[in-house]
């Protein structure tokens, strides 16, 4: 996780929001603590604050693997939860930030597609390869 104190540009945050909002079925709304939240059928995938802190929800095992691989850090307020925090500090971090939210999306979309016929199953294997997800994370998705 980046602990850089630089502020992200509004354009970088907007690019993350636009990219994540383009995922099938993802909605955006103002977040209760400021910023923009991302949801899929009422499940919050994560949210990005105006200061560039991106908080993302995962099952605990996925969160633990991502933190161990150095892809993100524990949540800045709730470090023992399934939430993570990634600080979007430079435009180069946009692709990584969107990859992190996409991982949350893939997990939730795969689970929802098993229970709701109107939620298409994502190409999880293909997306994990495209994102170059760590092997430890891929194994969790393969269960």
Q: Domain coordinates of the chain in residue numbers? A: 10-142
* Crossing angle of helices 10-21 and 94-113, rounded to 10°: 20
Enumerate residues 6+ apart whose C-beta is below 8 A from 69: 134, 136, 137
Nearest residue to 107 (alpha-carbon basis) of 131, 120, 124, 129: 124
- DSSP letter at 88 equals -
pLDDT for 32 equals 92
N-term to C-term CA, the chain: 26
Give the separation between CA 62 and CA 103, rounded to whole angstroms: 9
- DSSP letter at 79 equals T
What are the tokens at 127? 């997306």
pLDDT for 1 equals 45
pLDDT for 118 equals 86
Please answer whether residues 57 and 44 qualify as being in contact, where contact means their C-beta atoms are separated by less than 8 angstroms: yes
CATH of domain 10-142: 3.90.1150
Query: pLDDT by residue for the chain (143 residues), tens digit each?
Result: 444 456 678 899 999 999 999 999 999 999 998 899 999 999 999 999 999 999 999 999 999 999 999 999 999 999 999 999 999 988 889 999 999 999 999 999 999 999 998 888 999 999 999 999 999 999 999 98
Task: Give the predicted TM-score (pTM) of the model.
Answer: 0.92
């Amino acid at each position: 996780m980046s602990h850089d104190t630089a502020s992200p540009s509004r354009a970088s945050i907007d690019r993350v929001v636009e990219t994540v909002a383009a995922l099938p079925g993802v909605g955006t709304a103002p977040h209760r603590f400021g910023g923009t939240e991302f949801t899929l059928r009422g499940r919050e995938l994560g949210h990005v604050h105006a200061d560039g802190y991106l908080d993302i929800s995962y099952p605990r095992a996925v969160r633990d693997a991502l933190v161990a691989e150095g892809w993100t850090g524990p949540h800045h307020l709730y470090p023992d939860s399934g939430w993570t925090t990634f600080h979007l500090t430079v435009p180069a971090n946009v692709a990584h930030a969107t990859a992190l939210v996409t991982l949350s999306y893939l997990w939730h979309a795969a689970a929802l597609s098993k229970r709701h016929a109107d939620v298409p199953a994502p190409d999880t294997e293909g997306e994990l390869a495209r994102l170059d997800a760590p092997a430890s994370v891929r194994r969790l998705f393969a269960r």
